[in-house]
Every structure is written in structure tokens, then in C-alpha cells.
């Protein structure tokens, strides 16, 4: 039995900065004709605020697909990453998108107002190409988007598209890491997708967690508890596999996440809890 509780979503707010106004105080020429003193140049003001295409954050370079992969990997700031995308949008493919979102997630400044319009453009382009993405790319994009912390509304548009693509095709081609990263991303971004969670639970139970690492197991059960999706079969399978592995290779964070998930879901796993307690002693 699967129970879904929808997490709260938060609204987005924006602020508008007032533009400089012209000084209205008149001056007079020697002929007595009033001359209005002009304020700072609007072009110069905009240049200071958002930069010019020649600035470091915006490279005007047309690249080949393989070159673009290399440049994305070498880029060390968000402005460069978004500039590379905009200048080469016509050739940006699924691999480029996975790399871009992975790098943006690590930068953690994609929410800076300076990048707002470019991020929206990248989100729209990514949604357009989702149907061309395989399991690895879908999981990597989801993971990067969640780490970028763009907000529930923006994350939701893209993650819902990823969830739909994954469920439509089926999850049999997803490896344990990809399943783990995908549900972790949805839970972290507070985006609820009941169909995706059901499909992941079915797939994990079907495989009986064979080939899943402690990190994979910990992340999956943490994601389900965080999203308040409680599937008895999944929790039972996780408890059985963790006990079978004798908690080998489970680090303190893995154990803490797993115990928290079971406690949050109100699921009892006495043998697992006893083993965890012994590990802590």
C-alpha cells in the first residue's frame, strides 16, 4: 500500500530595481535658453549592471560539439557556463545539458538575479530535449537541478518532465545509482511525483536491491520518507538487504538517514535497529 502526502510548495518572489532618473534641474546658456542637465548615460548604466557581451561572463565563441564539452568542463563560473550555452544553443545536446546542470549544481549561485533570464532559457531548452535523454542523462540533470536550488516552481517544470519521461519508458534501464539520484533529486527539490515514486518502489522491490550500494539504499529510503511516500514493500526490502549486508560499508551518515527514514515512516524493523545500535556502541 502506497500513501502519498504532498509536501508544501513555496512561492517565488522577485524584486524590481528602480532605474536612475534624469536630473530635472535646468541650466541656462549665455543666450538665456534653458538647458536640461543630463543624468548618467543609460547605456553606461546598463553596462555596469549587466555587463557587455565582451565581458568575462559572456564569451562569443561558436564551438563544435566536442569542443563545447571540453569548454563546459573547464568553465569555472556560472556566467561562463551560461554564456557557453547561449552562444552554442543550436548544437547543445543531452550530454552538454547533463554537464551544464552538473556544473551549475556545484556552483550553487544559479539563483543570482543576474542569471535569471539565462537560467529560464536553459530550463526551457532542457525540457525541449528531455525526450532525447537516456537514464544516465536524466538522472544527472535531475541531480544537478536539485543541487542548484532554483526553487520549487522552476525545479518542478523540469523535474516533472524528467519524471514523465522516466515513467513512460520504464525504469528497467536505470542502474541503482541513477534510481537513487533521481528520487533524491525530487525529494531534495520538494517536487512530488506519485507515479515516479511508485515506479521506483516497484523497480527496487523487483530487484530486491541487488547491486545497490549503502549510499544508494540510504538515499532512496531517505527520499521516500522525505517525500512522505510510505511503501511497506520498499521499507521491508531495504531492511532485509541492510541486514543481509550486515551493515558492512554503511557509514554513520548512511545509518542515520536510514534509521530516520524508518522512524519517520513509522516502520518497525527490530533486527535492523538492533544491528544499528550495536554498530553505534
Under 8 Å between Cβ of 137 and 97: yes
Summarised one tens digit per residue, pLDDT across range 49-106 is 333 333 444 446 688 999 999 999 999 899 999 999 999 999 999 999 999 999 999 9
Q: Which residue has the higher pLDDT, 196 or 52?
A: 196
Is the pLDDT at 42 greater than 80, yes or no?
no
What is the band of 154 on the pLDDT scale with cuts at 50, 70, 90? Answer: confident
> In sequence order, what are the beta bridge partners of 2?
231
Residue 269: phi and psi, rounded to 5, are: -145, 80
State the Cα–Cα distance between residues 180 and 204, nearest whole angstrom: 10
**Within the chain, where are the H helices?**
42-50, 65-74, 78-87, 94-107, 116-129, 135-148, 152-169, 176-188, 194-207, 214-226, 232-244, 252-265, 270-280
Is the pLDDT at 226 greater than 60, yes or no?
yes
Summarised one tens digit per residue, pLDDT across range 1-34 is 555 554 433 333 333 333 333 333 343 333 444 4
What is the band of 151 on the pLDDT scale with cuts at 50, 70, 90? Answer: confident
Taking the CA of residue 85 as centre, how many other CA atoms within 13 Å lie in the half-sphere pointing to its CB? 28
Residue 231, classed as helix, strand or coil, is strand
Predicted pLDDT at 268 = 87
Is the pLDDT at 164 greater than 60, yes or no?
yes
In angstroms, what is the C-alpha Rg of the chain? Answer: 25
Predicted pLDDT at 45 = 35
Say whether pTM exceeds 0.85: no
Which of 202, 104, 204 shows the shortest CA–CA distance to 154? 104
Predicted pLDDT at 209 = 96
Question: What's the whole-number average pLDDT of the chain?
Answer: 82
Q: Output DSSP code: residue 229.
A: E
Is the pLDDT at 234 greater than 60, yes or no?
yes
Which of 264, 185, 162, 226 shows the shortest CA–CA distance to 8? 226
Measured N-to-C along each axis, helices 94-107 and 78-87 cross at an angle, to the nearest 10 degrees, of: 160
State the Cα–Cα distance between residues 222 and 155, nearest whole angstrom: 20
Amino acid at each position: 500500500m502506497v500513501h502519498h502526502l504532498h509536501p508544501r510548495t513555496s512561492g517565488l518572489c522577485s524584486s524590481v530595481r528602480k532605474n536612475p532618473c534624469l536630473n530635472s534641474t535646468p541650466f541656462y546658456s549665455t543666450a538665456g535658453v534653458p538647458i536640461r542637465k543630463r543624468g548618467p548615460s543609460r547605456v553606461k548604466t546598463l553596462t555596469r549592471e549587466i555587463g557587455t557581451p565582451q565581458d568575462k561572463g559572456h564569451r562569443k565563441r561558436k564551438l563544435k560539439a566536442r569542443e563545447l564539452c571540453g569548454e563546459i568542463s573547464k568553465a569555472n563560473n556560472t556566467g561562463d557556463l551560461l554564456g557557453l550555452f547561449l552562444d552554442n544553443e543550436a548544437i547543445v545536446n543531452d550530454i552538454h545539458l547533463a554537464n551544464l546542470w552538473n556544473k551549475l549544481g556545484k556552483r550553487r549561485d544559479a539563483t543570482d538575479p543576474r542569471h535569471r533570464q539565462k537560467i529560464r532559457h536553459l530550463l526551457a531548452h532542457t525540457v525541449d530535449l528531455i525526450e532525447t535523454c537516456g537514464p544516465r542523462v536524466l538522472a544527472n540533470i535531475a541531480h544537478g537541478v536539485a543541487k542548484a536550488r532554483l526553487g520549487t516552481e522552476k525545479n518542478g517544470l523540469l523535474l516533472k518532465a524528467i519524471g514523465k519521461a522516466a515513467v513512460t519508458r520504464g525504469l528497467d534501464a536505470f542502474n541503482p545509482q541513477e534510481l537513487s539520484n533521481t528520487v533524491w533529486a525530487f525529494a531534495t527539490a520538494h517536487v512530488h511525483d506519485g507515479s515516479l515514486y511508485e515506479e521506483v518502489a516497484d523497480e527496487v522491490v523487483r530487484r530486491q536491491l541487488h547491486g545497490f550500494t549503502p549510499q544508494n539504499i540510504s538515499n532512496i529510503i531517505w527520499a521516500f520518507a522525505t517525500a512522505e511516500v510510505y511503501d511497506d514493500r520498499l521499507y521491508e526490502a531495504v531492511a532485509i538487504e541492510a541486514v543481509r549486508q550486515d551493515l558492512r560499508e554503511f557509514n554513520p551518515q548512511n545509518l542515520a538517514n536510514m534509521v530516520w527514514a524508518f522512524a519517520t515512516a513509522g516502520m518497525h524493523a527490530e533486527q535492523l535497529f538492533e544491528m544499528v545500535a550495536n554498530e553505534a556502541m
